[in-house]
Structure 1
C-alpha cells in the first residue's frame, strides 16, 4: 500500500485513478467501435454485449500492461534507494506486483457495478478469474523483471517496449472478437499467450462459461517459465545492478 500512496500522494482522487483510467479507455472504444462491432458478437443476446466484452478484455489487458510496465521501470525509478539502502532488491518488483493486484481488484468491483447498471448479472463463472489473474500476473511479472533488468543496462528496452505494447494490444482480441479474424491469421494469434488469457475474462464475464483448460497449457507454460527465468537472471545480475544505475 505504501507504493500506491506514493504514486497518488498529491492526487485528491488517489486510487480511484487506477479505476477511472481503464474505464475511460473502455468508454472511448465503446463509443467509437460499438456501432461497428457490437452486432458481430455471437452467443450473447444483450444490448450491452459489446461494452461488456470491451470492459472484460480491458480489465485483463490493464493488469498485464500495468505489471509489465511498472516492473520494466522499477529499478530505474528507485535507483536512489537501491544505492543508499541495503534491502532485498527483488522486493521492488514484488511490491509493484502487489499494487497492481490491488488496483485490479478495485477495477473488477467497479466493473461488477457497471454490469448491474447495464442489467447484466454476474454469474458463478466469475470464480474463474483468479486463474486468469494468476497466469497474467506470472507472465507479466516474469517478462517485466527480465526486461527491467536489461533496461538498467540499455534504456532503449523501455522505449522499444512502448511500441511493442501498442502492436501487442491490437494483436490481442481486446476490442474486437476473435471470430472476425481471418483464418490465415489465427495461427499467428494462437502464438500470443494473451489471447487465451484475455479469453478467460471474456468467457467468465460475458459468455458465462468456464475456460478451456487445454487452451491455457501454452500461456501457462510460458508464464511459469518466464517467472522462474526472472529470478534466475535477477540473481546473476543483481551484484552489477547498482553500479549500472
Structure 2
C-alpha cells in the first residue's frame, strides 16, 4: 500500500500531463471539442424533461408552481450519475485498452485509473458549470448549499473509483465482467431517483431502493442544487466509510494482481 502511494506521488506529473493529453485526444478532430461532453448529458436531460416534465413537475416538494423545477431536478441527478458511471466504465477497461502501453513502458499501473478519474473530474466540472449557466438562463439561482457539491463529488469519486478499480482488475482475468457491468449500470439508473421522484415508487420498493448508495448521493445533489435544503449527512457518511473500505479492498486486490496483469494482456 505504501509502495503504491509512493509511486503515485513520484509519478504525479505524469498523471497530470496524461489527463491533459487524454482530454485533448478525445476531441482532437472535433470542431466543438470538449463541448460534446456537456451537450450529450444536457440533451439527454432535455429529452426526459420534455417527455416526463408535465407528468412529474407537480410532484416536486414545494416546486409545484415552478415549471423549470423538473428540468433542474434532472440536471442535478445527471451531474451525480454521469460522474459515477464515467469513472466505473472507464476503469472497467482501462488496463485492457492500454495493454500495449503497459507492455512497452515501465510505469506504475495504478496511474491509469487515476488518469481516467482525473479526466472524469474535469468533464464533471465543465458539466457543473454548464448546469449553473442553464439555471441562470432559466432564471433560477441555486442557494448557498450548492457549495456542498465539491464534498459530494469526493464521496461520489471514492465510491466509483473503489468499485471501478475492483471491476477493472477482475475484468482483465474474467472478461464477462465487462459485459455484465453496463447492464448492471442501466438497471441501477432506474433504481435511482433521477428521472422520477422517490414518492412515486411503491412503499414496498421504496425501502429497497434506499440500499442503493446512489439514491442518497443523487438526492443530496438535488437538495443542494434545487431544493436548497439540508443534506442527510448520516447516510452520506456511511457511504463515505464504505467508499474508503472499497478503496482499500481495491488497492489490495490490485497490489496482488498487478504483476500478472501484463502477462494476461
Instruction: Identify whether the pair has TM-score above 0.5, normalized to the shorter chain.
Output: yes
Matches of 1:210 and 1:131, distance apart in 2: 14
Q: What secondary structure, in the 3-state scheme, does the structure 2 residue paired with 1:209 have? A: coil
Match of 1:144 among 135, 160, 164: 164
Q: What secondary structure, in the 3-state scheme, does the structure 2 residue paired with 1:142 have? A: helix
Matches of 2:176 and 2:33, distance apart in 1: 31
Structure 1, unmatched stretches of 5+, are: none
CA deviation after TM superposition for structure 1 residue 192, in Å: 0.6
Alignment-derived partner of residue 221 in structure 1: 241
Q: What secondary structure, in the 3-state scheme, does the structure 1 residue paired with 2:52 have? A: helix
Matched, 1:131 2:151: yes
Alignment-derived partner of residue 253 in structure 2: 233
Matches of 2:140 and 2:210, distance apart in 1: 30
Matched, 1:43 2:62: yes
Alignment-derived partner of residue 5 in structure 2: none
| Equivalence map 1:96-107=2 (5 Å) | 96-107=116-127
Q: What secondary structure, in the 3-state scheme, does the structure 2 residue paired with 1:8 have? A: coil
CA deviation after TM superposition for structure 1 residue 219, in Å: 1.6
Matches of 1:106 and 1:236, distance apart in 2: 36
Matches of 1:29 and 1:67, distance apart in 2: 23
Matches of 2:107 and 2:151, distance apart in 1: 31
Maintained 8 Å contact 1:128/1:210: no
* Structure 1 residue runs of 4 or more that deviate by more than 4 Å after TM superposition: none
Structure 2, unmatched stretches of 5+, are: 1-19
Alignment-derived partner of residue 6 in structure 2: none
Matches of 1:145 and 1:7, distance apart in 2: 22
Alignment-derived partner of residue 264 in structure 2: 244
Normalization by structure 1: what TM-score?
Answer: 0.97
Matches of 2:60 and 2:40, distance apart in 1: 25
Matches of 2:242 and 2:201, distance apart in 1: 24
Q: What secondary structure, in the 3-state scheme, does the structure 1 residue paired with 2:93 have? A: helix
CA deviation after TM superposition for structure 1 residue 221, in Å: 2.2
Maintained 8 Å contact 1:128/1:200: no
Normalization by structure 2: what TM-score?
Answer: 0.90
Matches of 1:49 and 1:182, distance apart in 2: 23
Alignment-derived partner of residue 172 in structure 1: 192
CA deviation after TM superposition for structure 1 residue 9, in Å: 2.1
- RMSD of aligned residue pairs (Cα, Å): 1.0
Q: What secondary structure, in the 3-state scheme, does the structure 2 residue paired with 1:109 have? A: helix
Question: Over residues 16-72 of structure 1, what are the superposed CA-to-partner deviations in whole Å (9 max), with x where a residue is unaligned?
Answer: 111111111101111111121111112224220100100000111001010111111
Maintained 8 Å contact 1:194/1:219: no
CA deviation after TM superposition for structure 1 residue 177, in Å: 0.9
CA deviation after TM superposition for structure 1 residue 154, in Å: 1.7
Alignment-derived partner of residue 201 in structure 1: 221
